[in-house]
Amino acid sequence: MSAGELKEEIEAGVRFFGWVEGGHLLGVAGIQSLKDTTLIRHAYVLPECQRVGIGRRLLEYLMELAETPEILVGTWADATWAVRFYEKHGFKLVSPREKDRLLRTYWNIPERQIETSVVLRIIPSS
């Protein structure tokens, strides 16, 4: 993501949090309250730092910050590792019809990206 794109995301209300060890940023994830839901946005962990719990800890932290009962995350349908990660943490894939509705409601993305994306949802217990 370019600096300009990052600025636009922050101006749109995305709050970013990072995981730092030894002075190095190893992971980052964002959260955005939008209308009646919370979106997990731009979650990344350096490839060489994956599978050690950084993504899980960032996700758990963001879920604690959620201000709505529903949390959504969108990702590429072909990113099966990402889908498995979110499913492992309680998220469920929504139907294709619901996915299209949610992406058009809460995200500002091109139609081609809607066609090639999935949405996962969780409603954490209090």
Taking only the tens place, the pLDDT of each residue in 50-101 is 999 999 999 999 999 998 989 999 999 999 999 999 999 999 999 999 999 9
Q: Strand 37-45's sheet: what is its strand order?
A: 15-21, 24-34, 37-45, 71-76, 117-122, 92-93
Residue 5: predicted pLDDT:
86
pTM above the 0.95 mark? no
Residue 67 to residue 71: CA distance in whole angstroms:
9
Q: How many CA atoms lie within 13 A of 36 on its CB side?
A: 2
Q: Which fold has domain 3-122?
A: Aminopeptidase (3.40.630)
The pLDDT tens digits of the residues spanning 16-36 come to 999 999 999 999 999 999 989
Question: So where are the chain's domains?
Answer: 3-122
pLDDT band, very low/low/confident/very high, at 1 (cuts 50, 70, 90): confident
